[in-house]
A and B are shown apart, each in its own frame.
Chain A
Amino acid sequence: MQRFALIAIPYAWLLALFLIPFVIVFKISLSDIALAIPPYTPTLSDGVGPFFSALDFENFAFLASDDLYWKAYVSSLRIAAISTILTLLVGYPIAYAMAHAPEEWRPTLMMLVILPFWTSFLIRVYAWMGILSQEGFLNQFLLWAGLIDAPLTILNTTTAVYIGIVYTYVPFMILPIFAALDRLDGSLIEAAEDLGCSRLQAFWLVTIPLSKNGIIAGSFLVFIPALGEFVIPSLLGGSGTLMIGKVLWEEFFNNRDWPVASAVAVILLLILIIPIVLFQRNQQRQAEEEA
């Protein structure tokens, strides 16, 4: 009896507040928009038979026919991919240096990497608005240093979105790579150098392949959330920055088109399933390798 309650309570909670809501999103994505409350049709009050016969894939056909959505999906994938690579380029050297720092520094360095993660995401994105704007800190600094003659436009461009994603997600990249590099046996590098490798060759042929698992895990941890990101493109990006999370938000809150917003959500989910499954597989394989 106790065991039953222990299983049933969290199970029922997740069914009611996680799984059923998805079924509803899927159902509404097959509905039509209506001038009513709630603003879609059909509802179950129309009867079960007419309810099912009124569902169709119209919204998906609409998404496929309208350029905007295609472009938004493609550009989300591109922005997520490019920012993952940039995050790797920024995060790897930091993780590498942390792994080579004196032993007694490492807990402090780890805490310094994790600390921003506890601070509000919104505030960390907001901090960049003041830095990147026309009369912002970065432009003032570059003008003062004589590196530029006129202020650069960075805020409200895709560049600002890249900066925002790299900044907020870089801890997710650093931690798994650091974990991989920390375990790496230093004598392997010495062996490679003794056998005639240059330091760069040893890095490329030994260090990188041995930290592969960390790189893969970190990349997924950045790519997956970046794909559905909403806050960063809406605060740092301009009207030219198309990202699917922002499109969904606008479709729902500004256009009040719930069926289309739901269809956008269903497709975003379908796109996400591939990297999520790959990530799960990779984590499992890694766990087996270690065992």
Chain B
Amino acid sequence: MNRLSWFNVTSLTLGFAFLYLPMVILVLYSFNESKLVTVWAGFSTKWYGELLQNEAFLDAAWVTIKVAVLSSTFATVLGTMAAYVLVRGGRFLGRTLFSGMIYAPLVMPEVITGLSLLLLFIGIGLDRGVLTIVLAHTTFSMCYVSVVVSSRLMTFDRSLEEAALDLGCSSFDAFRLVTLPIIAPAVISGWLLAFTLSLDDLVIASFTAGPSATTLPIKIFSAVRLGVSPEINALSTIMIGIVTVGVISASLISKRNSLRQQRDEQAAARTA
């Protein structure tokens, strides 16, 4: 059963070629000498140099990183609280509405979320800028964080928490010393997810950004609308590179951790 048939080999090859070739082509053409992105004129890194001198892009990149760090941190705190409430909160008034509000943003079209937040900010007279983008991003990413964290909370052994409480911990200490270390991997992946979602978002940021703050996706989108440009290819290559290194090292670290945990458990079993 484990021998791959020709059909399976073909679908894997074609499937992954489809997923990865477009990005490979994009990366290759970022090293193209010619301004025309489609004609190969020799290897060059000049577009990277030009990119580093483009202050508009650098400013936008800085705003994007600031927004992503702030919003993913707020989203992780709020999302973890929301997950805890959903899984351990028991019954309270308006629980259905609460869980509805957690799941709804996951399927909401971004144009609607963006429009509604913009109308709110204008309604209360809040100037659009970094603050409004952070508020908007926190709101939709906290829902993703809470889904990730609550699935971890649901599977872990509640008696550990109860033991801590029996041994005299306050409920906050029990959370800090027992629950949090156990759900930490889920909280971290929630943060990473929120961070990438924020880095990536074009639509909601376009609605909630003001003239004082432009994010990188907004900048890229307005440049790309005019057509393909080698500078954008260079920028995309840098972003793809960062993500690839990040995701691969994150998965290696988590693999190493789980191996270590297995070893520890085996060692504990032997001594017991």
Which A residues have a C-beta under 8 Å from some C-beta of B? 2-3, 6-7, 9-11, 13-15, 17-22, 24-25, 28, 38, 90, 93-94, 96-98, 100-103, 109, 111-116, 118-124, 126-131, 133, 135-137, 140, 167, 170-171, 186, 224-225, 227-231, 234-235, 245, 248-249, 252, 258, 261-262, 265, 268-269, 272, 276, 279-280
Contact = CB atoms under 8 A, between A and B. Distances in A.
Nearest to A189: B1
A124 B22 contact: yes
A272 B138 CA distance: 23
Nearest to B227: A129
Contact of B202 (A11, A118, A122): A122
A122 B116 contact: no
A6 B233 CA distance: 45
B165 interface: no
B181 interface: no
Chain A binding site: helix, strand, loop or mixed by DSSP?
Answer: helix
Given A17-B120, A127-B25, A112 B236 contact: no
A225 B233 CA distance: 26
Contacts of B171: 2
Contacts of B11: 93-94, 96-97
B84 interface: yes
8 nearest interchain CB pairs? A228-B109, A21-B116, A94-B15, A93-B11, A97-B8, A127-B22, A10-B82, A21-B120
B142 A10 contact: yes
Contact of B236 (A14, A126, A279): A126
A231 B38 contact: no
9 contacts: A18-B104, A24-B116, A112-B19, A115-B247, A137-B38, A224-B107, A230-B203, A248-B115, A268-B109
A265 B103 CA distance: 19
A25 B115 contact: yes
B122 to A, nearest CB: 6
Contacts of A252: 115, 207
A265 B115 contact: yes
B243 A119 contact: yes
Interface of B: 1-2, 4-5, 7-9, 11-12, 15-16, 18-20, 22-23, 25-26, 29, 36-39, 78-79, 81-82, 84-85, 89, 92, 94, 98, 101-105, 107, 109-112, 115-117, 119-120, 122-123, 135-136, 138-139, 142, 146, 171-172, 196, 199-200, 202-203, 207, 217, 220-221, 224-225, 227-228, 232-233, 236, 239-240, 243-244, 246-248, 251
Nearest to A109: B12
Contact of B22 (A102, A131, A171, A228): A131
B120 A20 contact: yes
A100 B23 contact: no
Given A133-B38, A137-B25, 7 more contacts: A7-B92, A13-B142, A14-B102, A17-B120, A116-B19, A167-B22, A171-B19
Nearest to B94: A11
Contacts of A269: 112
A96 B4 CA distance: 11
A3 B90 CA distance: 10
A73 B84 CA distance: 39
Given A14-B98, A120-B199, A133-B38, A22 B116 contact: yes
B124 to A, nearest CB: 10
A97 B85 contact: no
Nearest to A38: B122
A272 B107 contact: yes
Contacts of B4: 97, 100-102
A135 B38 contact: yes
A225 to B, nearest CB: 7
A81 to B, nearest CB: 16
A103 B112 CA distance: 42
B239 A123 contact: yes
A2 B18 CA distance: 51
A167 B21 CA distance: 11
Given A10-B78, A21-B119, A90-B15, A130 B38 contact: yes
A272 B109 contact: yes
Contact of A249 (B104, B111, B217): B111
A137 B203 CA distance: 28
Contacts of A272: 107, 109
A12 B209 CA distance: 23
A14 B138 CA distance: 10
A111 B251 contact: yes
Contacts of B233: 130
